[in-house]
Structure 1
């Protein structure tokens, strides 16, 4: 291994040694502790410490780094107190996740480090969002995000590179190619010669770097950073290295040929760098021994502090209160004048006024800029707010959602428009595993609204007609809003954008241009979690939302003798159970009306809640009316049969006669 110091001083070279030695000594201690059963799991980075240390040392502390579970050197180089790291690994309260997640699955805004989730890929999109926020502020910062050679096969990797390339984002995509994805060797992971070659297809500058040479890494990152500050653009860096331990300690390394282990042992980044500094006369045996003693003492002291900390005592309130970031609803009352507008116009008005109210709000989606979106909701927005804030995206829903999370992390608000709610399936992972869990896991908000044009009745077939709210209502950490009227749509959208928690905002396409209402021209808000009682009666409670609200109103208009409470839920998470229970206790009968398919829909949970809380008040079984349990078809006759509109009246009358 050859080291070229270039302009580095003796002091800088010695400082790099201290930084690379520290994670090595901590790891050696962890290997002892795991054998003693004092640490439950450990993902060793021995053999590849130079990458984490070299990259982190070259960046400013104000620049974000997104490491993985083998990058202890990122955390130690940022000088995170070891007692907090030890507490984190032991599941203690003074760690970073309150015992809710392990190892390096956490972030810390204090140190500008954003940790991974086990699904790997989304953190690449997060880096795009963080870098986009920096670019919008023109603050000349870069973002570094780590991934492994195995994760380069994930779609998120390609989506994130493409977004960064198209938007010219200052992101360093760092691939630690350590030979194996768990036990799968690289020749079974990809067929190109070098992973750096993948950058060519995206028009991204790329390099191959010796991942065990800390001097080369530090100098290269320093140079690239300077270039990216002056001319923002992404780079792809493949670091050739090797993992000398198992994927995690329990897995071992029996699948690795012994000669390969021997070969890479000679390339040890710590030992080779120590020898280099010794040859230069910068490091002596005495200095080295003193550094070892100082670091080991620091480890022992901080480990004692972590060991002495009490184990977490669980409380229900402590767990449930952290699922969402606390939000104090800001009530803005509606004022005159009002205007008779369509549902679609109300959505557009809310977006426009929120963009004016929040200068840090960015909207992203396919064809939403000059074209104005598939439904023309953002038509004219680029003239008002510019393409920096109203951004066309490539067709890559997963990375765009993650980019929204990155914007949120770096001080922005994000709206992601799904062209159709059906397409959210390709962005499902970051919604349910990243946005939904971030505040619970490490106290970080996910200030992202995902707009979901949804629903049938337009003969659009299986891929453009679903109303898939149940995919999300069961995921703790998400809020789900589903208005049926223009007035509610605007007020609830404004509140959803204000709320720092992730919101899935459903907009029924059939209502866009068919429903009119008087809507205040100025900005106003409506609280989430409050249902609307549209009609009052004593015979039955009808609980519904979205398009079925209008279908139910039509049924009641055709049957004026039916005395019904008609509840429009408006928001499904949080759910207004108080309104539901009070009405059912009054009427004694309940029917839940949804457009979604029956099995597993939210109607099932509402039915169960009523049975649990109102059983003694019921005079009949709770009924559910929903679409057929099949994909939604295209032809009108088939779609009409699929949807529940033609079945509701009969079931309602049967319930009344029970």
Structure 2
């Protein structure tokens, strides 16, 4: 291995040595503790330390890094307290996630680190969002995100690199190519000889380095980061290295040819660099002994403190509260009495425009939302008013844009992400379910992201543009879900969703866009999230519904003039208003829960179950449900009308009343 010290001083070389030695000594200690069953699992980075240490040392302390399993050196270089780090590994209360997640699955804004989740490369889009935040704020900063060689097969890798290239984001995508994705060798992972060749496909600069040579890694990252700060653009770095131990310790390395292990053992990044410094007279045997002794003492003291730290004490109230960033939603009344007639679609556009004026840090992202104004023209004219920095057309990459929203949140921005159709959010499902929903609970970082979801059938658009998919997310703690049925609520709930610092899915029914209108305030106001509305009062039956179901319920009730039905529009689905529903059940004794979604596994099932459990003594009949058929949404209008529950609700109400 050839080291070139270039112009670097002996102090710099010595600092790099201390930095690369610390994670190696921690690793060696952790392997002992693992054998002693004092920690539960370990993902070893032995043999790869030069990448994490060299690249982190090259960055400014306030530049964000998004590491992976084998990047212990990122955390040690950033001076994360070792006792807190070790407590994290042991699942202790004093760890970064308070025992809620393991190993390096955490972030710390104090040290400008956003840790990984198990779904590989899900954080690359987050890096894009962080870099975009710096770019918008005119900060000359870069962001560094790591990927393994196996992870480059993931969709988020391609989406994140493409966005970074298109938007000229200052992100270094650093691939640690260690030859194996767990046990699968690279020739079974991808066809190109080296991953560096992929850079050209994204139109970005790509560099290959010896990942075991800390000086080469440090010098390369230092040089390109200086250039990127002045001229923002992404860079792909492939660092060639090798994993000397198993993917995690229990998996072993039996699948690796012995001669390969022997070859790479000769290229050990720590021992080779140490030998180079001895030859350069930067180190001597006594200094090595002194440095090692000091680091080992620091490790042992931190371990004693971590082992003595308390185990987490479960408190249900705290656990539930920590899913969300604390926020008391103020109900903002209109400033004056100016009103005008607005369609449902106009109300949404009005809310977005007014929120953009109130929140300069609000960024809109979505396919075709800029000059074209979106496929439904909701953002028409926004580019002229707010500019392309804040109203951003995106490539076809739902996952990366949602992830970028989380990255913007890290930098204090708000993000509105428009799904062209709610159906397409399936392409970004992982980011919604596993990243933005869990972020605050895991490490205290809220996702200030609103995802607008044009939803629903009735327009003969077929199986992929008509689904009601709110139940996919209703099961996921950490999200909030709103679904307005009226123009007044469409404006007020969207404003409230944007105000809320937590992730909110905002469902808007396409068939309501131009079919309903109302006289509503022209000025800014909010409708509180979590509060249902009684559309009509009655004593005979309670109908709990939302969205288009509100209009179907009204139509069905008009067809049975002899009854007085209490229709409840939930407006918010997560959290839903149990108090209003309970009060109505006590009054009527009979309940129908209706929605447009398919009947099986719909939100109505949960509401019906809750009523049966908590309001059973007030019921005079079984809780009944009505929803769409358990099929995909058909294209033909006649088939679609048969699919929807619109014309079945009247008969279901009569059945309930006759019980």
Q: Normalising by structure 2, report the TM-score.
A: 0.99
Structure 1 runs, 4 residues or longer, greater than 4 Å off = none
1:78-100 deviation per Cα after TM superposition (whole angstroms, max 9, x unaligned): 01110000110111111110101
The 5 A counterparts of 1:81-230 are 81-230=81-230
Instruction: State the distance in 1 between where 2:652 and 2:121 align.
Output: 47
Equivalent position SS for 1:324? coil
The 5 A counterparts of 1:456-535 are 456-535=457-536
1:167-193 deviation per Cα after TM superposition (whole angstroms, max 9, x unaligned): 000000000000111100111100101
In the alignment, which residue of structure 2 is the partner of 1:549? 550
Instruction: State the distance in 1 between where 2:301 and 2:318 align.
Output: 30
Equivalent position SS for 1:645? coil
Instruction: State the distance in 1 between where 2:580 and 2:158 align.
Output: 47
Equivalent position SS for 1:304? helix
CA contact (8 A) 2:63 2:143 kept: yes
Shift of 1:113: 0.1
In the alignment, which residue of structure 2 is the partner of 1:440? 441
In the alignment, which residue of structure 2 is the partner of 1:5? 5
Instruction: State the distance in 1 between where 2:90 and 2:218 align.
Output: 32
Equivalent position SS for 1:264? helix
Q: CA RMSD in A?
A: 0.6
Shift of 1:417: 0.2
1:105-143 deviation per Cα after TM superposition (whole angstroms, max 9, x unaligned): 000000000000000122000000000000011111000
> Is there any run of 5+ residues in structure 1 with no aligned partner, and where?
none
Shift of 1:330: 2.3
Which is further off, 14-23 or 329-338? 329-338
Equivalent position SS for 2:654? helix
Instruction: State the distance in 2 between where 1:7 and 1:569 align.
Output: 67
In the alignment, which residue of structure 2 is the partner of 1:633? 634
Equivalent position SS for 1:605? helix
Instruction: State the distance in 1 between where 2:440 and 2:429 align.
Output: 18
Equivalent position SS for 1:519? strand
Which is further off, 555-564 or 188-197? 555-564
The 5 A counterparts of 1:379-394 are 379-394=380-395
In the alignment, which residue of structure 1 is the partner of 2:568? 567
Q: How many aligned residue pairs are there?
A: 658
The 5 A counterparts of 1:324-473 are 324-334=324-334, 335-473=336-474
Instruction: State the distance in 2 between where 1:7 and 1:513 align.
Output: 68
Shift of 1:321: 1.3
1:463-485 deviation per Cα after TM superposition (whole angstroms, max 9, x unaligned): 00011000001101110000000
Shift of 1:560: 2.4
Shift of 1:319: 1.1
Instruction: State yes or no: 1:77 paired with 2:71.
Output: no
Shift of 1:314: 1.0
In the alignment, which residue of structure 1 is the partner of 2:299? 299
Q: Normalising by structure 1, report the TM-score.
A: 1.00
> Is there any run of 5+ residues in structure 2 with no aligned partner, and where?
none
Shift of 1:558: 2.9
Instruction: State the distance in 2 between where 1:561 and 1:383 align.
Output: 54
CA contact (8 A) 2:545 2:570 kept: yes
1:489-511 deviation per Cα after TM superposition (whole angstroms, max 9, x unaligned): 11111110111111110000000
Instruction: State the distance in 1 between where 2:145 and 2:157 align.
Output: 11
Instruction: State the distance in 2 between where 1:460 and 1:637 align.
Output: 12
